[in-house]
Amino acid sequence: MGKDIDLSTEEGIERYRHSTSHVMAQAVKRLFPKARLAIGPAIAEGFYYDFDLDEHLTPEHLSKIEKEMEKIIKEDHPFEREEIDREKARTIFSGMGEKYKVDLIEQLSDKTVSLYRDGEFFDLCRGPHIGRTGQIKAFKLLSVAGAYWRGDEKNQMLQRIYGTAWESAKELAEYLSKLEEAKQRDHRRLGRELDLFNMYEEAGAGLVFWHPRGAILKRIIQNYWEDMHLKRGYQLISIPHIAHAQLWQRSGHYQFYRQHMYTLKVEDEEYVLKPMNCPGHILIFKSATRSYRDLPIRFAEMGTVYRYERSGVLHGMLRVRGFTQDDAHIFCTPEQLPGEIEGVLDLVMEILGKFGFKEYEIDLSARDPKKPQDYAGSPEDWDRAEGVLMAALKEKGMSFRRIEGEAVFYGPKIDIKLLDALGRKWQCSTIQFDFNLPGRFDASYIGNDNKKHHVVMVHRALFGSLERFIGTLIEHYKGAFPLWLAPVQAIVIPVSEKYADYAEKVYATLKENGVRVECDRRNEKMGLKIREAQIQKIPYMLVVGEREAAAGTVALRSREEGDKGPQPLDEFIEKVAEEVRAS
């Protein structure tokens, strides 16, 4: 690969992939000379480049671009850096009709800019790059998607080509295999196939409609979540979906978060569809005089919130405009804070472990000290808050990395990213310290000195967004949920209509014993019904015919193990109960 690059490092692999994106842009310009170039960065596990093209790109085009890239790689051009005057660069790119490059140059304040050349191609770029195009060993163009210039839907829609690059053909093949497996696990496809949820164009983008099976799955998760919180001393509350704009002005959301909020007029006054639950929870806390003896108070709610997201970033249930937060707010004294943070960390690990997640990456999201105007509170407040979160993580023996600039405006936070069955990271739990809202709302308690003190407040969500968490679960399990979580645990399949009465009796008995069961009453062949139940990933299929009706049994089939033979119905019911207890 050359002495100037080490692909075992993040910097090395980023340079390698960014260089591959330049080669792709060069190939596109050879094939489509009128193409106008936008940007082409390296991203996680690959790269992309945005193009303004008159022709709509298809998979056939990607194949042609790949072949042209292979030629450029064989030509083995050196990547050469050149510094030129900013105004000269603007003139050059303007003369070429590269309006997006001109736009980028006009945003720069430096007197000079850098270009990178390889062969006949040159591009505006800070770099760095690898030494030569011939050092690129394995790559693949993956897809084409639409992307607005600068991410703004008011701007021109561009065509974005995604690709990936690896050090060897073997690594590329392994990655492509992983991508194919990810497609099979895609929650959007499985959500439709398993009849869990859908999104309807006529209803608007980013809004989830739960079908009966999906609603059952959601209720199972919510019931478990509520039980766990009640055991931990939380109190369940519920607040309205809208509130007067004055509430959000007081909280600071109107100042710091306005671009993500939906507003509406009610009798000539402005209301807001709640983007957060915290101001409402504070109002309930303030509804009574609180003593230090009452603290900590822990309020929890599965609260649906609404946030404006640009259509270009919406993605199934992972990025939506209306979602349910498993929200909770802890009101405590400064002395109680470390224990409360540690208690939340324990609850996170217990709940996520229940759903089969054992591996995590943890970030401590801190403020950017260079942008104090973006945050509420003093530097001393922030130092103290970040120190408390850091100490709790160390006390629990959890490794983490500190990332500046990722905090919310009202305080630092702990972000927990879980790893799924494919090793992919998903943003999930968040624990946020807040020294801002208690002061804004004068949320106080009477201390043991009989004086009023502002309460310390912790925001936390364990699933984060229930929609995103369920999307993650679908992909983690590939739709084959464990028995305790499966919306349909068993399906009764009569061999023919002659045994419909016995099938109904089995169905009724299972329902009476708490088994989530369906009965396939269609006049179809038994083999077809079994195949469809398998595709629906139902854990157990109970086939009933003449022998089963005579003996009071069922012919049991397992999703995982196939034919299990005849079994008395009461034994199957106990089997289900035992399997659920053991999960």
HEC string for 443-464: CEEECCCCCEEECEEEEEEEEE
SS3 labels along 372-389: HHHCCCCHHHHHHHHHHH
Portion of the chain with pLDDT greater than 70, in percent? 99
CATH homologous superfamily, domain 490-582: Anticodon-binding domain (3.40.50.800)
Write the pLDDT tens digit of every residue in 363-374.
999 988 888 878
- Residue 206 — very low, low, confident or very high, per pLDDT cuts 50/70/90? very high
Read off the pLDDT of each residue in 202-216 and give the average, rounded to a whole number. Answer: 95
| pLDDT greater than 70 at residue 185 | yes
125 is a catalytic site residue: no
Round the CA-based radius of gyration of the chain to a whole number and report it: 29
Read off the pLDDT of each residue in 318-332 and give the average, rounded to a whole number. Answer: 95
Read off the pLDDT of each residue in 387-410 and give the average, rounded to a whole number. Answer: 90
Task: Please tell me the predicted confidence (pLDDT) of residue 241.
Answer: 96
| pLDDT greater than 70 at residue 547 | yes
Hey, CA dihedral for 63, 66, 70, 71, is it positive or negative? positive
* Cis peptide preceding 275, ω within 30 of 0: no
Per DSSP, what are the bridge partners of residue 264? 271
Q: Are 414 and 425 in contact (CB under 8 A)?
A: no
Question: Per the residue annotation, which of 52, 123, 326, 327 is the catalytic one?
Answer: 327
Task: Please tell me the predicted confidence (pLDDT) of residue 313.
Answer: 80
Task: Please tell me the predicted confidence (pLDDT) of residue 583.
Answer: 87
Task: Please tell me the predicted confidence (pLDDT) of residue 153.
Answer: 79
Portion of the chain with pLDDT greater than 90, in percent? 82
Task: Please tell me the predicted confidence (pLDDT) of residue 66.
Answer: 97
459 is a catalytic site residue: yes
- Residue 152 — very low, low, confident or very high, per pLDDT cuts 50/70/90? confident
Q: Which of 226, 203, 224, 197 is nearest to 467 (CA)?
A: 197
SS3 labels along 473-493: HHHHHCCCCCCCCCCCCEEEE
Question: Per the residue annotation, which of 29, 61, 329, 476 is the catalytic one?
Answer: 329
- Residue 406 — very low, low, confident or very high, per pLDDT cuts 50/70/90? confident
Helix (H, G, I), strand (E, B) or coil at 150: helix
Higher pLDDT, 539 or 523: 539
Q: What's the token pair of residue 334?
A: 């400064």
Domain ranges of the chain: 10-172, 193-238+275-477, 490-582
Task: Please tell me the predicted confidence (pLDDT) of residue 110.
Answer: 85
Question: Per the residue annotation, which of 298, 413, 529, 557 is the catalytic one?
Answer: 413
Distance, CA of 129 to chain centre:
31
Question: Per the residue annotation, which of 15, 36, 61, 307 is the catalytic one?
Answer: 307
Question: Per the residue annotation, which of 15, 187, 278, 460 is the catalytic one?
Answer: 278
- Residue 4 — very low, low, confident or very high, per pLDDT cuts 50/70/90? low
Task: Please tell me the predicted confidence (pLDDT) of residue 400.
Answer: 94
Can you tell me the distance from the alpha carbon of 104 to that of 230, in angstroms, rounded to the nearest whole number?
Answer: 54
Mean pLDDT of all residues belonging to the chain: 93
Least confident of 24-33, 114-123, 219-228, 409-418: 409-418
Q: May I ask the CATH class of domain 193-238+275-477? A: alpha beta
Read off the pLDDT of each residue in 498-517 and give the average, rounded to a whole number. Answer: 96
DSSP, res 57: P
Residue showing tokens 């014993």:
513
| pLDDT greater than 70 at residue 528 | yes
Helix (H, G, I), strand (E, B) or coil at 25: helix
Give the pTM.
Answer: 0.86
Angle at 267 between CA 261 and CA 271, to 5 degrees: 15
Can you tell me the distance from the alpha carbon of 300 to that of 226, in angstroms, rounded to the nearest whole number?
Answer: 9
Read off the pLDDT of each residue in 214-223 and give the average, rounded to a whole number. Answer: 97
Task: Please tell me the predicted confidence (pLDDT) of residue 1.
Answer: 41
Tell me the CB-side half-sphere exposure of residue 258, using CA atoms within 13 A.
8
Question: Per the residue annotation, which of 26, 135, 159, 325 is the catalytic one?
Answer: 325
CATH of domain 10-172: 3.30.980.10
329 is a catalytic site residue: yes
| pLDDT greater than 50 at residue 2 | no
Query: Regarding beta strands 413-419 and 562-568, do their DSSP bridges make them parallel or antiparallel, or are they unpaired?
Result: unpaired
Read off the pLDDT of each residue in 274-293 and give the average, rounded to a whole number. Answer: 96
| pLDDT greater than 90 at residue 385 | no
Question: Per the residue annotation, which of 459, 468, 476, 529 is the catalytic one?
Answer: 459
Task: Please tell me the predicted confidence (pLDDT) of residue 381.
Answer: 80
Output the CA–CA distances (angstroms, integers) from residue 71 to 30, 39, 113, 169, in the order listed. 11, 22, 29, 17
Q: Which of 523, 526, 514 is nearest to 483 (CA)?
A: 514
332 is a catalytic site residue: no
Least confident of 38-42, 377-381, 462-466, 508-512: 377-381
Task: Please tell me the predicted confidence (pLDDT) of residue 79.
Answer: 95
Task: Please tell me the predicted confidence (pLDDT) of residue 410.
Answer: 76
DSSP 240-265: -SEEEHHHHHHHTHHHHSGGG-EEEE
Read off the pLDDT of each residue in 324-351 and give the average, rounded to a whole number. Answer: 95
